[in-house]
Structure 1
């Protein structure tokens, strides 16, 4: 389920305040921080972004 239009325009990474980019596969949807030093990956559950640093995955 894609995020609501315009939502990505106002969301930012809670750790570094960089813009977020949507990334989706067949079974998961995530928001990826575009900050060069951060790169955290936040899950989207049931169409709701979980923007908690403790829930984020570190970049690979």
Structure 2
């Protein structure tokens, strides 16, 4: 599943539910597509990534993958 399957109008309004920054295309450590915060989220160098299930981004802060940018 690719993030390109998300409708363009929806991509324009999606934001990280924690820091409200734009979400950009990314790839998880397992190689799956995900949406990632474009800027630091809550701490310097820390960002969140949200998985995509069946073309639907799961924008739940508790289920986000936290990584260092």
Flag whether TM exceeds 0.5 (same fold): yes
Higher radius of gyration, 1 or 2: 2
Report the TM-score when normalising by structure 1: 0.81
Q: Which runs of 5+ in 1 are unaligned?
A: none
After TM superposition, which residue ranges in structure 1, 4 or more long, deviate above 4 angstroms? none
Q: Which runs of 5+ in 2 are unaligned?
A: 42-46
Residue 54 of structure 2 is matched in structure 1 by 46
Matched residue count: 59
Task: State the superposition RMSD in angstroms.
Answer: 1.9
How far is the alpha carbon of 1:22 from its aligned partner?
A: 1.4
Aligned residue among 31, 36, 49 for 1:32:
36
How far is the alpha carbon of 1:6 from its aligned partner?
A: 2.5
